[in-house]
Amino acid sequence: MKNGHYAVINIGASAIRMQISEFNNGEEKIIEYLVNPLRLGRDTFSKGFITLESLNKAVEIMKKFGDKLTEYDLWKSYKAICTSSVRDAENRYFFIDRIKTKTGIELAIIDELEEVYVKYLAIKNDIHDFEKYEKSGVFLLNFSSGNVGINIFQNGINLFSSVLPYGSLRIAEFVKNIKNDLKYRAYDIYAEKLTNQIRQYCKNITDIKYLIGSGSSINLLEEIIKPTKNSIKKIDIENLYKNFKHFDPKAISESLNISDYNGEILLPTLRLYLSVMNTMNVKEMLFSKQTFPNQLLLYYSKKIKDKSVKKRLIKNFFHYGKKYNLDETHAKKVSYFAIKLFNELQEIHSLGENEKFLLEASAILHDIGYYIDIHNHHEHSAYIINSFKMPGYDKRDMKLISIISFMHREKKIRSDDTLSKLTPNELLTVKKLVALLKIADSLDASHMQIIQDINLSISDTMIRITAVCRDIPYIEEKVFNRKNRDFLETFGVPITFEARLNYE
């Protein structure tokens, strides 16, 4: 990444934060970190919109942050994002427009998945030996004022990933009219609901041995429990909860010498952590002290990269495939042929690595719709793929994979609504990839892996595939000759097929 200065502004549920960092030869130095409390979440989570009064306060804070952008000349090197308190507000676009008009700062709403992915990446970057935890099973719990972000990994597979509306401020708002003595019962129900959801998605939750916490709640726990290492013991959380279970927020803040706000959110925070720890059956939680603005800054300045993203995504595609009884052998075979075609025909299609990945993903997932119905399975494949939540993977790319998968059984690319929304470049890419996928898919049309491998001979007038087979590929040849038309129409060159039995 380039040397220089970058700023990130994060509008969260309980505060607006800004971080300015200097990057020099790969090293990050935090130049400034600013926090201004503003409980936008209080508005959004209780009323559903942000009041004008809060908006005006946000404007004042953002003006000051604008001064900082001027001071360090960062108007072209900043990213300002908002999370759930703005994302979930009815008047979010008015909010964003007003901030832009009054301060010049352009806000973007961070997508839930992107949020959870940024947090995952940053923690991966921050926690020593993370790969070890990731392999044997790790539960990443980002518990902040607005939401709970969850990422569960095992053997390099993302078992569960979601942002759930259980943030401490959200819960505190929810229970504010309940008698103090009875609030703990509401926390119990909330915690139970959360853990039920987790169990539903991750049946073997007790196999996950490591819990890593992050988010603003960690700072609070750290301030009170004062752990000597980067881990907090369940017994400490339990004792704290037991001691203060029946206290009102004011009494908590006075007894523990914490802010009134922290006094208000402490009990729901403790209860949720306890619930997760009990569900997982772990006795301690590791934690990362990274702030969200710091994580965002590292991410947007490209200081942290997800080097194994493609490998992990492929694993995840197969993991999802299992849920839908995907013919994994067929998927692997088609994927193999597709990549081989892609690599050999580079001169003709001129596509890059990202497109290669789109093809590989489509080759794995194109038949996932069988789970719903074999007829029109391509249509089912398209919406199933579209519903996948893959942290770290661009939504747009996922959309393209679903379109390519849809097209693998269509004779021609239709100009329907979805396709008309593609840019001319994207449309061309889809056409090229569909042409290749159709060829690859036809080469295992029987799903019996009769064709073991292929060789290509390429000239300006013809491309010939010689298939090395363990038997005569009747179905493959027939399907090939039906599906090779797209190839000709897309690349202007015919592609032919010849089978050769594999014997010596």
Partner 1 sequence: MSDIFFNRELSWLSFNERVLKEATDKDVPLLEKLKYIGIFSSNLDEFFMIRVAGIKDQIKSGLNKPEISGLYPQDQLIKIKEKTKSLINDQHDIFTKIKLECENHNIFLKSDKFGDFPIDSLFYNEILPQISPITISPSNPFPFIHNLNTNIFTSIIKDGNQYNSIIIIPGNIKKYYIFKDGNFTHIFLLEDIIEHFLKTIYNDSEILESFYFRITRNADLNFQNEEVEDLYSEIKNSLSKRVTGEPVRLELSGKFSETSKMILKKSFNIEEVDIYYYDEIIDYRFLIGINIDNDNLKYKPIKYKVPDSLKKGDFFSIIKEKDILMFRPYNDFGVIGRMIAQAAEDPDVIAIKMTLYRANRDSTIMQSLEKAALSGKHVCVVIELKARFDEEKNLEWAERLEKAGCIVSYGFVDLKIHAKALLVVRKEKGKIVRYSHLSTGNYNETTAKLYTDIDFITANDVIGNDVVKLFNFIMSYSDPLKWEKISVAPIYLRKKIISLIDNEIYFAKMGKPAQIIAKLNSLYDKEITLKLYEASKAGVKIDLIIRGITSVVPGVKGQSENISIKSIIGRFLEHPRVLFFKSGGNGRVFLSTADWMVRNLDKRVEILFEVEQNELKNQLINYLYMNIEDNQKSWILKSNGVYIKKKSTASKKNLQSDMEKIVE
- Tell which one of 3, 255, 325, 455 touches partner 1 (CB under 8 A): 3
Q: Cβ of residue 60: shortest distance to partner 1, in angstroms?
A: 9
Do β-strands 463-469 and 15-24 pair in parallel, antiparallel, or remain unpaired?
A: unpaired
Q: Cβ of residue 288: shortest distance to partner 1, in angstroms?
A: 18
- Tell which one of 1, 28, 32, 466 touches partner 1 (CB under 8 A): 32
Binding of partner 1 by 283 (CB under 8 A): no
Q: Cβ of residue 378: shortest distance to partner 1, in angstroms?
A: 53
Residue 11 dihedral angles phi and psi, to the nearest 5°: -90, 105
Which is closer to partner 1, CB of 10 or CB of 429?
10
Binding of partner 1 by 28 (CB under 8 A): no
Residue 107 dihedral angles phi and psi, to the nearest 5°: -100, 145
User: Per CB under 8 A, which region of 67-75, 326-334, 358-366, 428-436 contacts partner 1?
Assistant: 67-75
Binding of partner 1 by 192 (CB under 8 A): no
Binding of partner 1 by 258 (CB under 8 A): no
Binding of partner 1 by 491 (CB under 8 A): no
Element (H, E) at 120: helix 112-126
Evaluate whether 88 touches 110 at the Cβ level (below 8 Å).
no
Evaluate whether 381 touches 367 at the Cβ level (below 8 Å).
yes
Binding of partner 1 by 132 (CB under 8 A): no
Q: Cβ of residue 108: shortest distance to partner 1, in angstroms?
A: 22
Binding of partner 1 by 37 (CB under 8 A): yes
Residue type, 71: E
Q: Which residues of 263-278 are buried (b: 16+ CB within 10 A; e: fewer)?
A: bbbbbbbbbbbbbbbe
Q: Cβ of residue 146: shortest distance to partner 1, in angstroms?
A: 19
Calculate Rg over the CA atoms of the chain: 27
Which is closer to partner 1, CB of 61 or CB of 404?
61
Which is closer to partner 1, CB of 31 or CB of 258?
31
What are the helix (H) ranges across 40-91?
Answer: 40-47, 52-71, 84-87
Which is closer to partner 1, CB of 36 or CB of 308?
36
Strand ranges of the sheet holding 78-82, from the earlier edge strand across to the other edge? 27-37, 15-24, 4-11, 78-82, 107-109
Do β-strands 451-458 and 463-469 pair in parallel, antiparallel, or remain unpaired?
A: antiparallel
Which is closer to partner 1, CB of 97 or CB of 260?
260
**CA dist., res. 261 & res. 276, Å (int):** 23
**CA dist., res. 454 & res. 66, Å (int):** 60
User: Per CB under 8 A, which region of 31-39, 316-324, 381-389, 453-461 contacts partner 1?
Assistant: 31-39
Binding of partner 1 by 383 (CB under 8 A): no
Q: What is the DSSP string of 250-298?
A: HHHHHHHT--HHHHHHHHHHHHHHHHHHHHHT-SEEEE----HHHHHHH
Q: What is the DSSP string of 302-349?
A: T-S--TTHHHHHHHHHHHHHHHTT--HHHHHHHHHHHHHHHHHTHHHH
Q: Cβ of residue 24: shortest distance to partner 1, in angstroms?
A: 6
- Tell which one of 1, 28, 36, 125 touches partner 1 (CB under 8 A): 36
Hey, which residues between 71 and 130 contact partner 1 (CB under 8 A)?
71-73
- Tell which one of 33, 93, 383, 474 touches partner 1 (CB under 8 A): 33
User: Per CB under 8 A, which region of 34-42, 50-58, 105-113, 137-145 contacts partner 1?
Assistant: 34-42
Evaluate whether 327 touches 447 at the Cβ level (below 8 Å).
yes
Residue type, 241: Y
Binding of partner 1 by 353 (CB under 8 A): no
The conformational region for residue 49 under phi > 0 = left, psi -120 to 50 = alpha, else beta, is: beta
What are the helix (H) ranges across 127-259?
Answer: 130-136, 168-174, 180-201, 216-225, 234-244, 249-256
Binding of partner 1 by 195 (CB under 8 A): no
User: Per CB under 8 A, which region of 70-78, 179-187, 380-388, 466-474 contacts partner 1?
Assistant: 70-78
User: Per CB under 8 A, which region of 29-37, 105-113, 245-253, 482-490 contacts partner 1?
Assistant: 29-37
Longest dimension (CA), the chain: 85
Q: Cβ of residue 41: shortest distance to partner 1, in angstroms?
A: 17
Q: Cβ of residue 61: shortest distance to partner 1, in angstroms?
A: 9
Which is closer to partner 1, CB of 56 or CB of 354?
56
Which is closer to partner 1, CB of 31 or CB of 468?
31
Binding of partner 1 by 67 (CB under 8 A): yes
In the complex, which residues of this chain contact partner 1 (CB under 8 A)? 3-5, 15, 22, 24, 31-37, 64-65, 67-68, 70-73
